[in-house]
Amino acid sequence: MAGRRLLQGLTSPWSVGFSAFGLAYGGYHVWDSTQSGTKYDLHEDLAGKTYIVTGATSGIGQATAEELAKRNARVIMACRNREKCVQVRRDIVLNTRNKQVYCRQCDLEDFDSIRTFVQKLSKGKFELDRIDGIVHNAAMMQSERHVNKDGIEKTIATNHLGSFLLTGLLLDKLLNQTNPVRIVFLNSNIIDRKCDLNLGDFNSEGAKKFDGYEVYKHSKLASALFSKELSERLKESNINVIVADPGRTKSNLSAQMDGQTFFLSRWLLKIVSFGMGERRTEKAVRPVLYALCDPETVDENGLFIDRERHAQPWNDIVMDAEKRAKLWNVSVKWSRLGDHLKQMKHELGEAAIQISNESGDKLTVETATAGGGEGRSWKTLWLW
């Protein structure tokens, strides 16, 4: 009698339901732990150091800002949405007890906003006495083609041209510092998959139907070419460049694409992503911290590391110096780097910059004293 009752209890829908839940929950954690990769923790005290993180209001950028704050760094959250930034900053300060976390507006698709951001860091009450690292993390993907106020498709504007301009405008300040600086770009191994640089349709106007994922892939490839070229041009300087792939990560990156897909395929995609090893941001941030602050990478330049922090080979397109140089010139032109530099220097009351001639993609900029006189400057390194 008691045995039959026990059996009934064990096979009741409630017990079966709870057991299934327990199994699934346990299974999830076992699977999740297999995605952790090798253990890694950054044991550095970053007190006195300053890092700029773009797109620090969600995903990997937010996790990066928090990890840096935890290690006592001063963190500049360069974000497009001020209200969101204030909320995220509040959580980071509460979690880390580090008040040296600051929100600064920087919308990477808006080139005037980038210039204002750099201007404020260069002079006045928000001036930074030093910068130890920049994390080019912000990125977006969109399901329909939208352009910024300059008529540039927003994915390429945000994911490549924005960080190109930001780096270009900051370069003098970084080169004039005595401390070493690390610039970290977040990228992805998707640039290895059926991807080529398409300068003929840089603004994604040509295709019959806009494919947000392909345009994202192209923008990340452009960013990779730029990172590699930057590392070449900055050899022997106080600045090192490393590219880190955080691996497939749970984040908001594809949220804009979600609205366009049927909810069942969305769920299917989530299950596939989970099965393929989508990681949590706490784990995805590891290669970023390794590239940015680990003593092991202090002398590395031009490296592309995977989610396990191993160096991986660049693909042939990134290794093509001619393509990199072409993209560089196109980026100077599309981001209007010369105009923004000129305006910024003027507003900062620095040396007068005169754009003396422009022929085709070539741009010559002359300045009396800009960027450390005889030493390295944006003039010698950036615009050749």
64 contributes a contact to ligand NAP by CB under 6 A: no
Q: Which of 69, 131, 138, 285 binds ligand NAP (CB under 6 A)?
A: 138
101 contributes a contact to ligand NAP by CB under 6 A: no
Q: Which of 137, 155, 297, 377 binds ligand NAP (CB under 6 A)?
A: 137
What's the token pair of residue 331? 């980026």
Contact (CB, 8 A) for 197 and 221: yes
Provide the pairing of β-strand 353-359 with 303-305.
unpaired
301 contributes a contact to ligand NAP by CB under 6 A: no
Contact (CB, 8 A) for 50 and 78: no
Nearest CB to ligand NAP, comparing residues 74 and 248: 248
Interface residues for ligand NAP in 175-204 (CB under 6 A)? 186, 188
Residue with tokens 């099965």: 275
**Residues touching ligand NAP, count (CB under 6 A):** 29
Provide the pairing of β-strand 74-79 with 50-54.
parallel
Phi–psi pair at 375, nearest 5 degrees? -75, -160
Q: Which residue is nearest to ligand NAP (CB)?
A: 59
Q: Which of 217, 228, 248, 376 binds ligand NAP (CB under 6 A)?
A: 248
Interface residues for ligand NAP in 73-92 (CB under 6 A)? 79-81, 84
246 contributes a contact to ligand NAP by CB under 6 A: yes
| Contacting residues for 383 by C-beta, under 8 A, at least 6 apart | 332, 337, 338, 363, 364, 365
SS3 383: coil
Our answer to whether residue 290 is catalytic in this structure is no
Partners of 147 in beta bridges? 153
Nearest CB to ligand NAP, comparing residues 59 and 338: 59
Q: Of 107-115, 264-272, 336-344, 365-373, which segment contacts ligand NAP by CB under 6 A?
A: 107-115
289 contributes a contact to ligand NAP by CB under 6 A: no
231 contributes a contact to ligand NAP by CB under 6 A: no
Q: Which of 50, 96, 122, 158 binds ligand NAP (CB under 6 A)?
A: 158
Nearest CB to ligand NAP, comparing residues 56 and 363: 56
Shortest Cβ distance from residue 249 to ligand NAP (Å)? 4
* CB burial of residue 329 (10 Å; 0-12, 13-18, 19+): middle
| Contacting residues for 152 by C-beta, under 8 A, at least 6 apart | 109, 161, 203, 334
Give the C-alpha separation, 218 to 216, whole Å: 5
DSSP designation for 117? H
227 contributes a contact to ligand NAP by CB under 6 A: no
What's the token pair of residue 182? 């690390």
108 contributes a contact to ligand NAP by CB under 6 A: yes
Which residue among 25, 102, 213, 216 is the active-site one? Answer: 216
Contact (CB, 8 A) for 353 and 342: yes
Q: Which of 118, 109, 106, 227 is nearest to 162 (CA)?
A: 109
CA distances from 271 to 94, 143, 182, 199, 259 (A): 34, 21, 36, 36, 17
Q: Which of 50, 58, 119, 231 binds ligand NAP (CB under 6 A)?
A: 58
Shortest Cβ distance from residue 136 to ligand NAP (Å)? 7
140 contributes a contact to ligand NAP by CB under 6 A: yes
Per-residue binding string, ligand NAP, 309-328, x by CB under 6 A, is --------------------
Give the C-alpha separation, 63 to 67, whole Å: 6
Partners of 242 in beta bridges? 184, 303
Nearest CB to ligand NAP, comparing residues 173 and 248: 248
Residue with tokens 């984040």: 251
Contact (CB, 8 A) for 59 and 38: no
249 contributes a contact to ligand NAP by CB under 6 A: yes
Shortest Cβ distance from residue 19 to ligand NAP (Å)? 33
Q: Which of 59, 133, 212, 287 binds ligand NAP (CB under 6 A)?
A: 59
Q: Which residues are catalytic?
A: 216
**Chain contacts with ligand NAP (rule: CB under 6 A):** 54-55, 57-61, 79-81, 84, 107-109, 137-140, 158, 186, 188, 220, 245-246, 248-249, 251-253
